[in-house]
Amino acid sequence: MAEEEKVVQYFSRDFEWEELRDEVERNPKFSYHLSSFSPSLSSPSPVDADADAWRNFHRRHSTGTFFKERRYLLKEFPELIVFDGSIRVLEVGCGNGSTALPILRAKQNIIVYACDCSQDALDKTVEMIATSNFPSISHRFYPFLHDFSANRFPNWFLCSACKKCPHKKDFIFTPDANGEGLIRINEPAACCIGGIDYVTLIFTLSAVPFQRMSYILAELLTVLKPGGLLLFRDYGLFDMTMLRFRPEQRVGFREYMRSDGTLSYFFSLDIVRNLFLGAGFIELELEYCCVISVNRRSGKKMQRVWVHGKFQKPTVGTS
């Protein structure tokens, strides 16, 4: 069977998100998740957490037991299979390679660049790929160490015209009307033509401080080709894991810190839309995926909520 024919429509609507929202809003035990956030003197600052906590996380879990190949990815994002010629993908925050590996396996003519702030994570990904018993994928995989919440992407992603115009990345941000994020108020210079066909941002944006998200998305816009796509999947508002956080783990509105210092943000569709459109993307798809998963041991049902999104870099205007 041709690879294209294997692509099936992928729906994940085991329950209605609005019904879950109503349940959470009616239940007093969840009220602290809904209230506005005012930091106390003892609350940790999410901006201080960031990359170091993830480096420590990967150092502690260097056996890679957290690795779980995301086989559903190609169903969610069939454009990674259905294309002519060759493509370049940038996997942002690649962890142990759960997203990079299925993409590399999908077709011979896909090149994957993958960054993470943790060298341990990159080493593990290289090992996973080398031992995957799939022919000719190692030479199509380019890992690199990069803290994207504090640094710009390397110049070698850009076309030669962009390299000659260093000012092209000089964005200016201002707080949005709600004070919840930043919006870009200037256009990048017209010479920018980044070279990546697809950026994958899979459970990575939620791992950085909310205040850094606008900056990161604006950076990702610059590395994409005009017309290129950013493929997004991340934690959705009222996901079971959000409702399990205790009040003292809140470090912002819908933002939590695990005991190991890593962050987790839970996205509503409105916030995702504001962040991406504010950075200059066009929205193609945006929805909640609501899936019931069952704990094999206890038989307990869990309501999982993820956000699925596809965003495009405009072909004219911001390029």
Ligand X SMILES: C[S@@+](CC[C@H](N)C(=O)[O-])C[C@H]1O[C@@H](n2cnc3c(N)ncnc32)[C@H](O)[C@@H]1O
Binding site for ligand X (CB under 6 A): 50-51, 54, 58, 70, 93-95, 98-99, 116-118, 121, 146-149, 202-204, 207-208
Strands 224-235 and 196-202 turn out to be parallel
Is the Cβ of residue 78 or residue 95 nearer to ligand X in the bound state?
Answer: 95
Residue 76 Cβ vs ligand X, minimum distance, rounded to whole Å: 12
Q: For residues 51 and 158, which CB has a smaller minimum distance to ligand X in the complex?
A: 51
- For the bound state, the minimum distance from the C-beta of residue 65 to ligand X, rounded and expressed in Å, comes to 13
Whether the CB-CB separation of 206 and 271 falls below 8 Å is answered with no
List of residues 6+ apart from 141 with CB closer than 8 A: 100, 104, 111, 112, 114, 126, 129
The angle that helices 269-279 and 213-223 make with each other, rounded to 10 degrees, is 50
User: Between 192 and 201, whose beta carbon lies closer to ligand X?
Assistant: 201
C-alpha span between 105 and 192 (Å, rounded): 31
Closer CB to ligand X, 30 or 203, in the complex: 203
Nearer to ligand X, 262 or 318 (CB): 262
Cα 100 from chain centre: 13
Q: Residue 35 or residue 293: which is nearer to ligand X going by CB?
A: 293
Q: How near is the Cβ of 225 to ligand X at its closest, in Å?
A: 21
How many whole angstroms separate alpha carbon 274 and alpha carbon 279?
A: 8
CB of 149 to ligand X, least distance (A): 4
Q: Three-class SS of residue 60?
A: helix
CB 190, min distance to ligand X, A: 29
C-alpha–C-alpha distance, residues 83 and 88, integer Å: 12
Q: How far is the CB of 201 from ligand X (least distance, A)?
A: 8
